[in-house]
Amino acid sequence: MTDQVTRSDAPATVSKIAAVSGDKAGAAEEQTFYYPPNDLVETSNIMAYVREKGFDSYDELYEWSIKNPQEFWADMARRLVDWYQPWDTILDESNAPFYKWFVGGKINIAYNALDRHVKTWRKNKVALIWESEQGETKTFTYYQLWQQVNRWANVLKAMGVKRGDRVTIYLPRIPELPIAMLACAKVGAMHSVVYGGFSVEALHSRIQDAQSRLVITADGGWMNGKVVELKKITDEAIRTSPVVETVLVVRRTGHEVTMQPGRDVWMHDLLALPIASPKFETEVMDAEDPLYMLYTSGTTGAPKGLVHTQGGYQVGIATTLHFVFDIKEDDVYWCAADPGWVTGHSYIVYGPLILGATQVMYEGAPSYPYPNRWWSIVEKYGVTVLYTAPTAIRGLMRFGEAWPNRHDLSSLRLLGSVGEPINPEAWRWYYRVIGKGRCPIMDTWWQTETGMFMITPNPTTPLKPGSGTKPFLGIEADVLNEEGQPAGPDEDGLLVIKRPWPAMLRTIYGDPERYVRQYWSRFPGLYTAGDAARKDEDGYFWVIGRIDDVIKVSGYRLGTAEVESALVSHPAVAEAAAIGLPHEVKGNAIHTFVILRQGYEASEELAEELRQHVGKVLGPIARPEAINFVASLPKTRSGKIMRRVLKARALGLPEGDLSTLEA
Ligand code: 6R9
């Protein structure tokens, strides 16, 4: 990234946010509760737990869980996962906010996801049904997946990958992606997955920051009937990364790629060697050993690598998936996210396998070749739980009801939403047209940082469209005003989490100070999520959106700084600012303001060239919706761009406090 990026102005305050947030999910206009069907409630995992604990209601269980969070999490850690050796201390707070969970425990997430199942009847249960964009299907039983992961782990080990190494994975949505991740976990190496929709600069900076000596990619991937040239992008990204010694290449498209001798190796060649045995001794890890890092956009500057660990993380994701999506032995679960994002890490790759579930994974775009693609997948495999994002729902909604109505969707029993606030209109469509009014929607609020659902309904919760309802068991959340006092009902404030939870991030890779500063310093002892929210009089949470320079585009998290860096890396651009503005399908779209260098003239062609340039540097998802050529940008006296002023102007809203604006 270039260093020409102009730093953001001070974090917006709550009142500023209220002034600029467009489509606010209004608690006041949404008073009707949607109640879950009785049989779902009665047979749910959560009710079984309520009864077993001797409580009369879920609310009583919740009260107990937040009075005794350590007892609750330890109970889950004993029930849902297996340990090589039990922990000595449930939670070590001595070096807060560097919390440690299940200290002294020995565990490996791959053992719980695979090894233990093959010793039981689940050995021949279907773990993964994968469907390609072209319609080809591959099915893996737990035994087959276990063998395949073992073969990969043996290859990685033979290539010199050791405990603690960082492996960068840049793959399309194919079975090899979860296989590669699980193989890293088996070896004890950290994976750093870079989403296949990212491009050269994004991949380069992540490889550099992680100092990965080994990169796993493919000759390409299919999306919307076109090939994404992953290997070519990798070649370009590592041209200036001497740290990379080896590139393992999966054959997916059969398209021709350049293989650099001594560096690039075909994975299928390695898997054909005797070293790739289907047996592998899974590394015994400490609970606090790192499992992976995942880069995400933050307030300022380059994306940061958030670190998740082995023990607490798996306890957190297994518990939330068990209770929220109510996973049972005969479910067919489908999370339509990409494994390259945290949703895929927690709720495709690890969570469902730990619980021994059968899941579906689909390679391509939701409306390829027709807008009924997803609904045909639900019908074909008898999907019972579907988890997706508001942007996908809005996108499919546009095509009308006839497409889903052509399919038998009666297998569905629970729906889910994640990534951004779901607007009540999309919620109701999802509920009525897809769920036929029978399937409660689990609107799960969480973050890459939290690792697991934090504010979410469960199958017993009365729902309000657009609200994630209440904190999960063991989680205490609140909305605070600027002074750190609890905000009143329906008053906007900052969303905080009041105590540590097992799947929380442990640090920012290579930058522990930033971890403390970013998440734990706004209000001492509390985790600040970076979201504005409000709580209504029923105690239901309504998340409004980010208060920092993060833009959620189609549910994907992007930083204004990344987009601005990409723009100023073009020779025509002197300075740039990016903001998010409401968009009907994407939720937010990136709008940019560009000051040209001398000698360049504003034109439609140049605007298009800049859009393409950002797409090439960062990835198609970051391509701006609009490029506005301007002569100046509103700045503070200290020279920081005031994005909130740009946003307010674009929305025709009051510009708020301009006292720091440069004269
Ligand atoms: C899982 C994921 C985190 C940010 C988060 C918030 C927004 C996610 C949401 C939601 C309202 C929901 N967000 N889920 N807002 N309701 N159900 O999305 O992680 O990519 O790190 O983004 O997404 O703004 O702070 P991540």
Q: Where are the alpha helices (DSSP H) in 500-603?
A: 512-520, 560-568
- Compute how many other C-beta atoms are within 10 angstroms of the C-beta atom of residue 42: 11
Q: Is 225 left (phi over 0), alpha (psi -120 to 50) or beta?
A: left
| pLDDT tens track for 514-540 | 999 999 999 999 999 999 999 999 999
Q: What is the pLDDT, as a whole number, of residue 660?
A: 60
Ligand 1: centre distance to CA 389 (Å): 10
Determine the Cα–Cα distance for residues 394 and 581; give it in Å rounded to an integer.
16
pLDDT of residue 402 exceeding 90, the answer is yes
pLDDT of residue 607 exceeding 60, the answer is yes
Ligand 1: centre distance to CA 406 (Å): 32
Determine the Cα–Cα distance for residues 431 and 629; give it in Å rounded to an integer.
42
Query: pLDDT class for 658, splitting at 50, 70, 90?
Result: low
Ligand 1: centre distance to CA 552 (Å): 8
Residue 420: CB within 6 Å of ligand 1? yes
| Cα 85 to chain centroid, rounded | 30
- Compute how many other C-beta atoms are within 10 angstroms of the C-beta atom of residue 631: 7
Q: What is the pLDDT, as a whole number, of residue 3?
A: 32
Return the ligand 1 atom nearest residue 422 CA.
16
Residue 61: CB within 6 Å of ligand 1? no
Determine the Cα–Cα distance for residues 379 and 569; give it in Å rounded to an integer.
47
**Residue 397 has which token pair?**
């909604």
Residue 419: CB within 6 Å of ligand 1? yes
Query: pLDDT class for 549, splitting at 50, 70, 90?
Result: confident
Strand 106-107 to strand 332-335: parallel, antiparallel, or no bridges (unpaired)? unpaired
Return the ligand 1 atom nearest residue 447 CA.
19
Q: What is the pLDDT, as a whole number, of residue 637?
A: 77
Q: Which of 317, 557, 586, 621 gets mutated to test ligand 1 (max ligand atoms within 8 A of its CB)?
A: 557
The answer to whether the beta carbons of residues 553 and 621 sit under 8 Å apart is: yes
- Range with the poorest average pLDDT among 17-26, 52-61, 484-493: 17-26
The answer to whether the beta carbons of residues 454 and 445 sit under 8 Å apart is: yes
Query: pLDDT class for 350, splitting at 50, 70, 90?
Result: very high
The answer to whether the beta carbons of residues 90 and 287 sit under 8 Å apart is: no
The more confident residue out of 652 and 40 is 40
Q: Which of 418, 497, 504 gets mutated to test ligand 1 (max ligand atoms within 8 A of its CB)?
A: 418
| pLDDT tens track for 203-248 | 999 999 999 999 999 999 999 999 999 999 999 999 999 999 999 9
pLDDT of residue 150 exceeding 80, the answer is yes
295 closest CA partner among 193, 199, 167, 182: 193
| pLDDT tens track for 259-279 | 999 999 999 999 999 999 999
The phi, psi pair for 333, rounded to 5°, reads -100, 140
| pLDDT tens track for 301-322 | 678 999 999 999 999 999 999 9
Return the ligand 1 atom nearest residue 456 CA.
17
| pLDDT tens track for 609-621 | 999 999 999 999 9
Query: Is the N-terminal amide bond of 11 cis, ω within 30° of 0?
Result: no
Q: What is the pLDDT, as a whole number, of residue 20?
A: 33
Return the ligand 1 atom nearest residue 417 CA.
17
Closest CA to ligand 1's atom 15: 420
Return the ligand 1 atom nearest residue 443 CA.
17
Ligand 1: centre distance to CA 602 (Å): 36
Q: What is the pLDDT, as a whole number, of residue 370?
A: 95
Determine the Cα–Cα distance for residues 630 and 325; give it in Å rounded to an integer.
49
Q: Which of 345, 388, 446, 455 gets mutated to test ligand 1 (max ligand atoms within 8 A of its CB)?
A: 446
Q: What is the pLDDT, as a whole number, of residue 297?
A: 82
Closest CA to ligand 1's atom 2: 447
pLDDT of residue 573 exceeding 50, the answer is yes
Residue 548: CB within 6 Å of ligand 1? no
Q: What is the pLDDT, as a whole number, of residue 592?
A: 97
Residue 100: CB within 6 Å of ligand 1? no
Query: pLDDT class for 641, splitting at 50, 70, 90?
Result: confident
- Compute how many other C-beta atoms are within 10 angstroms of the C-beta atom of residue 63: 12
pLDDT of residue 14 exceeding 90, the answer is no
pLDDT of residue 9 exceeding 50, the answer is no
The 3-state secondary structure of 374-419 reads HHHHHHHHCCCEEEECHHHHHHHHCCCCHHHHCCCCCCCCEEEECC
Return the ligand 1 atom nearest residue 556 CA.
20
Residue 413: CB within 6 Å of ligand 1? no
Q: What is the pLDDT, as a whole number, of residue 331?
A: 98
Q: What is the pLDDT, as a whole number, of residue 388?
A: 97
Residue 296: CB within 6 Å of ligand 1? yes
Closest CA to ligand 1's atom 8: 419
pLDDT of residue 585 exceeding 80, the answer is yes
| pLDDT tens track for 197-210 | 899 999 999 999 99
Ligand 1: centre distance to CA 531 (Å): 9
Residue 343: CB within 6 Å of ligand 1? yes
Residue 219: CB within 6 Å of ligand 1? no
Return the ligand 1 atom nearest residue 296 CA.
21
- Range with the poorest average pLDDT among 177-191, 316-330, 642-656: 642-656
The answer to whether the beta carbons of residues 105 and 197 sit under 8 Å apart is: no
Residue 347: CB within 6 Å of ligand 1? no
Residue 258 buriedness (CB in 10 A; 0-12 / 13-18 / 19+): exposed
Query: pLDDT class for 653, splitting at 50, 70, 90?
Result: confident
Closest CA to ligand 1's atom 16: 421
pLDDT of residue 300 exceeding 90, the answer is no
Query: pLDDT class for 654, splitting at 50, 70, 90?
Result: confident
Q: What is the pLDDT, as a whole number, of residue 15?
A: 36
Q: What is the pLDDT, as a whole number, of residue 299?
A: 63
Residue 448: CB within 6 Å of ligand 1? yes
Query: pLDDT class for 22, splitting at 50, 70, 90?
Result: very low
- The average confidence (pLDDT) of the chain is 93
Average pLDDT over residues 174-193: 98
The phi, psi pair for 627, rounded to 5°, reads -115, 115
Ligand 1: centre distance to CA 660 (Å): 31
Residue 4 to residues 237, 301, 560, 575, 593, Cα–Cα distance (Å) = 20, 11, 13, 8, 15
